[in-house]
Amino acid sequence: MVGTGYVGLVYAVCMAELGHVITAIDIDEQKIATLAAGTTTIYEPGLEELLRKSLSSGRLRFTTEYDVADADFIFIAVSTPSTPEGAADLRHVRDAVRRIGEHTHGAHPIIVNKSTAPVGTSETLDYLFAAQNGVGGQEFEIVANPEFLREGSAVQDFFHPDRIVLGGRDEAATRAVAELYAPLNAKVIFTDPKTAEMIKYASNAFLATKISFINEIASICEGAGANVADVAYAMGLDERIGARFLNPGLGFGGSCLPKDVRALTYLATVYGAHPQLLNAVLQINADQRRRVIRMLREALGSLESRVITLLGVAFKPGTDDIREAPSVDIARLLINEGAEVRAYDPFALAAFGAAFPRAELASDAYAAATGADAIVIATEWDEFRAIDLDRLRGLVRTPLIADCRNVLDRERVLEAGFACFGVGTAMAGREFLVLPAPPPTTRAGVPITSAGVVAS
């Protein structure tokens, strides 16, 4: 398994649990040492227990060396970040190909590509291996095997997949890869490499579209006075639509949906298509974060020197991942308007603190709320659903909640004395907003600039 990022680590651990002998490779020495000691480098429910079990069984080991000479299968699971144009950056894939070619020593393993990459990447891999080995691209059989894991439930998704997609030109090689997954008794889709690669992008683009669609409906509901929660629930009962991904909120984030929609949009332009729908999906997603800032500004008059508390900074519950998280965009926008950002999250605070070193990190939701001018619920962790609103009311400076995941009982929020707004709902309880003066525009006696950064 080349790469021990999110996908590579989950697959390495879970495939070892299936009984396969796995060597997981990464160039990051610290990461490899941590994993070899039985500690995961990401938060994912159930993963660390399986990691330790697989290490104890001897079926899983970690190394920085490209020890692939005796491998029957080599899985490429390296990152493919976005370029400034939105295309998938294949630099890590190319580097993996180079290193694999240097260390196979004449062996003929099957190459399985799990890295999310543009349609046609399997052909690119063929070309790269051929150029490196001078054998006309016939030394390795390549099978595209996209992943469909959801962060926060990746272990469950691995062992109970909706489908396994395999795209290969050689039937024997493709079926050999299918045999690796045989214990799962899952539905296997056999197709050609380009189609397999497209299935991944099309699937994620559709999920992103569904999220942006319900957020667009929420905006209309807010203006028209309709209840978006009831709209989404009734829509979801239609089997043709389904309830999943119809939760209005701050939009999609994480390592997959934003990157994959951008990559598909770029690919569409390359082939002369006109991706108006995909562009709109991305625009609506960005607008959801800006709306929060607009609503806070309207409620507080100005965000300059206001203390804004973010409850939840992970892009979704069940993970410590803040990549493309709504909280990150909101924090940047708040800081740009001179606000003081405070945050609490049960698992993602370390990553958020590294991204925003001037943000104040709190030990729990109540500490985060103390003295706040507004509370923004940005991640729908269960603990926020059960938060003690009366206790919270006694701690805040200004009684304002932006329930951006619609997790709280609106009537109960108002009973506790808060003004509030959600997604698809207008501001309520304005009578509670007797605004105090903003705190002094100095921090420890040092002037603060209009962008909220301590002046040098």
Backbone angles phi, psi at 54, to 5 degrees: -70, -40
Token readout for 87 is 């295309």
> What is the secondary structure of 156-179 as a DSSP string?
HHHHS-S-EEEEES-HHHHHHHHH
Catalytic hit among 14, 256, 404, 420: 256
Q: Using an 8 Å Cβ cutoff, are 141 and 177 in contact? A: no
12 closest CA partner among 71, 46, 65, 60: 60
Cα-Cα-Cα-Cα dihedral of 31, 36, 42, 45, to 10°?
180
- Crossing angle for the helix pair 91-103 and 121-133, to the nearest 10 degrees: 40
Known active-site residue 256: yes
Residue 240 phi/psi, 5-degree rounding, is -70, -20
User: Residue 292 CA to chain centroid, in angstroms?
Assistant: 20
Burial of 126 (0-12, 13-18, 19+ CB in 10 A): buried
Contacts within 8 Å (CB) and 24+ apart, 422-428: 423/215, 423/218, 423/228, 423/248, 423/249, 423/250, 423/288, 424/217, 424/218, 424/219, 424/221, 424/222, 424/227, 424/228, 424/229, 424/248, 425/221, 425/222, 425/228, 426/222, 427/295, 427/298, 427/299
In a 10 Å sphere around its CB, with 0-12 CB exposed, 13-18 middle and 19+ buried, how is residue 191 labelled?
A: middle
Cα dihedral across residues 356, 245, 6, 74: positive or negative: negative
- The alpha-carbon radius of gyration of the chain (Å, integer) is 24
Contacts with 158 (C-beta within 8 Å, 6 or more apart), sequence order: 10, 11, 14, 149
What are the residue numbers of the active site? 256
